[in-house]
Amino acid sequence: MIEKYSFGTHPETGAVVAAVREGERLPYFTAKGEGEGTRFACPLEKGDIVYGLGETMRGINKRGGRYVSFNSDNPHHNDSMPSLYGSHNFLLVSGERTFGAFFDTPARAVFDIDLSGSGRIDVLCERGVTVYIVEGESCNDIARQFLAAIGKSYLPPLWAFGFGQSRWGYKCEKDIRSVANGYERAGLPLDYICLDIDYMDRYIDFTVNKKRFPDMKSFVSEMKARGVRLVPIVDAGIKIEPGNPVFDEGVEKGYFCKNLEGKDFSAAVWPGLTHFPDFMKKEARDWFGRQYKFYTDLGFEGFWNDMNEPAIFYSEYSKGKAGDRACGDPLYKGGAYLNDYKSFTHDMDGETVPHWEVHNLFGAKMTQASSEGLQKLLKTRFLLFSRSSYIGAHRYGGIWTGDNNSSWLMLRRNFTMMPGLNMCGFLFSGADTGGFGGNCSRELLLRWLALSCFTPLMRDHTTIFTRRQECYRYRGKNDFKSILSFRYRILPYLYSEFMKAALSSDLLFRPLAFSYPKDERAKSVEDELIVGDSILIAPVMEKGAKGRTVYLPEDMTEVRWNGKVFTEIPAAKGEHFVKVSLHEIVFYIRKGKCVPVSKGGTNTSEVDLKDVTLLGDGKEYTQYLDDGLTRDCTAKNLRVITK
Ligand code: GLC
C-alpha cells in the first residue's frame, strides 16, 4: 500500500507514475516546518537497517551516514562524500516495522541516518516535498510496490550487456581501431567502444572532428561489421558559437536557461562557455532529442550523457573566482560554485523557476529528452546511460556511477551501491570498471571485472591522466580471457533476469536479507548479494586475498569457472573459506534453482541464448528470450527450459 503526504508545493518531478492516494497523517515520521524547509524525524530501533538511497557512498546499510541529495560533479569519491551525481531519495527501513519512504522533491535534501548515534533518521527537505510511504509484507514486497509506482525500467538492447571499453583520450580512428585490434588479437571479447569528448569538433555536441574521423559514417559501419559498436558521449552544454545551427536555433527559440537578467545563462564546461538547454521545458526537450538525428544518421545506436548535474567549471558570475577553486572557498562545491546554481532559471509551462529549486532534475530531464528523441529516431532499442539522474529517469536510460578511482574501496562501493540503485529503479547500471582516476593494478582490474560480469553495464573506463587500462595491455592475458569469457557464458541468465525484473518491476540485485528474511546473520552481510532469482555472489574485494569467507544462508551449489569449464559442488549452509584465483569466478546457486549458461563467444552476436546448459540442482528455468533489439518485450517471450 502506498500513500502520499504533501508538505508545501514543488514542481512536478515525474518520478511516480501510478495513481497514489493522499494519506491523512504521515506515519513513522514527525514533520516540522514548511516553506523554508521541512524537517522529518523517525526514531530507529537498535536493530533497524536502512536500505536504499541509490547512488550514495558507504555500505548497503545506510545507517551511520549523512547523505545530501544535491547532484554534484566531484571526482573525489570517498566514504564521507555526501553527494554524488544522482538524487535517489527512497529509503527502506527494515526491523520491527518495515516500510519504505520516498521524499519526492527536486531541490536539496539532507538525510542524516543516525550519523551521530541519535537513534533517528533526520531528513531536511529545503523546499516542498511529497512524501510517499510504502507499506508491505516484506522488504521485497515494499521494493516491488515502489518499483511498480515509479514505472518500468528502460530496456537496453542485448549488445549493451556485452563488454565495453572506454577511455578519455581516444582521439581518432586509429586509436579506436587499435583498441579493437588489441582485443581481437588477444582473443578477448568486446561489444562496444565509447567515444569520449575528443571525437567532437572542439567538444561541441552534435559535431564530429573531420580530421580525426574523416568519414564517421563508414567508420561506424566498418566497426559494427566487426562486432564493435561505437558509443559517443553527449554533454549537457551547447557551446556559444553563433553560426552553429543547433546553437542558433536554441537562442532563437528561447530553449536555453536564463541568467539573473533574463538573458541566456553562460557557464563554462569542456567547450568553453556554453548555454544549458532548458530541459525542464517540453519544447526544449523535444528540440534537444531531435538533435540525436545527427548521430543516428551516422549509424550510432548507443550514447552516454555527461556533465548533466549540470557540471560548471565557472559561470559568467563566478568567472573571476575560477582560480580559487581548490583553495577551500566554502562556496566551491566540487566543480561549481554553489552560487552558480542560484544564478539561472528555467521556464516551466510559462513560469520562471529558479534552478536551485529543481537542481536535482536537470540530468534526469536530459535523459528523458534524449530517450524520447531516440525512440522516434530508431526502430529498435538503444543503449543510453547518463551520469546525473533522479528517480524517474530510470524509465528513459541507465546510469553509470561517475568518476570513481582505482581503489579497492571503490570496487566495494560499486558492489554496495547495486541494491540501492535497483530499489530506486536503476536496473541498468554499473561503475567505471577498474576505476576512472588513478592507475589500476592488474589484480584490482581482474577482481573488479569479476564483479562487473554481473552488473548490466560492464564498461572499463578511465581518465586521460592514468595508465592505459585496456585488458590486453596487462600481462597474463589468459586470466583476462577467463574472466571476460565468463560474462558471455552467463549472458543468457543475466539478460533474462534483467528483462524479467524490468518487466515485472522487481529487483535484479538484492541484499541477502531480502531473500532470507528469517536469517539473523544475513541481515549484517555487506559483501554478498543475490543477483536475479538463482544466484548469490560473493566477489573477492580485498587486495592480496587468495579467497574469502562466504556465508551461505542455506545449502547451495558452488559453481567455479576457470576459463574452460564450470565445476559444480554442493556447498553446505554456513560459513566457508573459498579460494578464488585471479582467473576464476565462484558463485552460488540457490537450492532448487537453475542458471542457464551459454557456449560463449567473443561478441554478444556470437552467443546463442537458446543453446544453454542448466547449472544448479533445480529442474527448470524460465528464460526470457527475444532478438535483443525488439521493443515488443512482454511475457510472451518467456519459455520454460528443463534439464
Ligand atoms: C567526465 C566524465 C568522464 C569523462 C570525462 C571527459 O569526467 O564523468 O567519464 O571521461 O568527463 O569527457
Contacts of 293 (CB under 8 A, 6+ apart): 373, 377
For residue 573, the CA-to-ligand 1 centroid distance in Å is 44
pLDDT single digits (tens) 267-305: 999 999 999 999 999 999 999 999 999 999 999 999 999
DSSP tag of 300: -
Atom of ligand 1 nearest to the CA of 197: 12
Asked if pLDDT for residue 33 goes beyond 90, the answer is: no
CA-CA distance, 491 to 509, in Å (whole number)? 16
Q: Which of 306, 432, 470, 527 is catalytic?
A: 306
Asked if pLDDT for residue 362 goes beyond 70, the answer is: yes
For residue 109, the CA-to-ligand 1 centroid distance in Å is 26
- The answer to whether residue 526 sits within a structural domain is yes
Mean pLDDT calculated for residue range 80-90: 95
Last-in-domain residue among 113, 131, 150: 150
Q: In the sheet where 49-52 sits, what is the strand order?
A: 21-22, 2-7, 129-135, 99-104, 90-94, 49-52
For residue 214, the CA-to-ligand 1 centroid distance in Å is 24
pTM equals 0.97
Asked if pLDDT for residue 36 goes beyond 90, the answer is: no
Asked if pLDDT for residue 392 goes beyond 50, the answer is: yes
The CA–CA distances, whole Å, from 336 to 69, 438, 482, 497, 538 equal 16, 22, 43, 40, 38
- 372 is an active site residue: no
For residue 337, the model assigns a pLDDT of 72
- What is the domain extent for residue 589? 507-642
- The answer to whether residue 339 sits within a structural domain is no
- 184 is an active site residue: no
For residue 74, the model assigns a pLDDT of 86
Band of the pLDDT at 333, cuts 50, 70, 90?
Answer: low
Q: Which of 196, 198, 205, 309 is catalytic?
A: 309
Asked if pLDDT for residue 396 goes beyond 90, the answer is: yes
Choose the residue to mutate in 71, 73, 194, 196 for probing ligand 1, maximizing ligand atoms within 8 Å of C-beta: 196
pLDDT single digits (tens) 437-474: 999 999 999 999 999 999 999 999 999 999 999 999 99
Contacts of 520 (CB under 8 A, 6+ apart): none
CATH number at residue 125: 2.60.40.1760
CA-CA distance, 240 to 257, in Å (whole number)? 13
- The answer to whether residue 330 sits within a structural domain is no
> Which has the minimum average pLDDT: 206-215, 227-236, 338-347, 445-454?
338-347
For residue 131, the CA-to-ligand 1 centroid distance in Å is 34
- 403 is an active site residue: yes
Last-in-domain residue among 104, 134, 150: 150
For residue 34, the model assigns a pLDDT of 65
- The answer to whether residue 63 sits within a structural domain is yes
Atom of ligand 1 nearest to the CA of 463: 10
Mean pLDDT calculated for residue range 248-273: 96
- The answer to whether residue 34 sits within a structural domain is yes
Atom of ligand 1 nearest to the CA of 75: 7
Give residue 394's identity as a one-letter amino acid code: H
pLDDT single digits (tens) 186-201: 999 999 999 999 999 9
Average pLDDT, the chain: 96
Which residue, judged by its Cα, is nearest atom 4 of ligand 1?
A: 168
CA-CA distance, 86 to 359, in Å (whole number)? 11
Nearest CA-CA partner of 10 in 101, 89, 90, 106: 106
For residue 205, the model assigns a pLDDT of 98
Grid cell in block for residue 435: 576505476
- The answer to whether residue 528 sits within a structural domain is yes
Cβ proximity of 226 and 180 under 8 Å: yes
For residue 35, the model assigns a pLDDT of 61
For residue 326, the model assigns a pLDDT of 46
- The answer to whether residue 373 sits within a structural domain is no
Please give the distance of CA 403 from its chain centroid, rounded to a whole number: 12
Band of the pLDDT at 327, cuts 50, 70, 90?
Answer: very low
Name the domain count of the chain.
2
Cβ proximity of 503 and 141 under 8 Å: no
CATH number at residue 629: 2.60.40.4040
Choose the residue to mutate in 307, 405, 459 for probing ligand 1, maximizing ligand atoms within 8 Å of C-beta: 307
Last-in-domain residue among 124, 150, 176: 150
Kindly list the protein residues whose Cβ atom lies closer than 6 A to any atom of ligand 1: 168, 196-197, 233, 306, 387, 402-403, 461
Band of the pLDDT at 546, cuts 50, 70, 90?
Answer: very high
Cβ proximity of 54 and 27 under 8 Å: no
For residue 336, the model assigns a pLDDT of 65
Contacts of 210 (CB under 8 A, 6+ apart): 201
Choose the residue to mutate in 432, 436, 457 for probing ligand 1, maximizing ligand atoms within 8 Å of C-beta: 436
- The answer to whether residue 35 sits within a structural domain is yes
Mean pLDDT calculated for residue range 323-344: 68
Q: Which of 372, 403, 479, 527 is catalytic?
A: 403
Atom of ligand 1 nearest to the CA of 387: 8
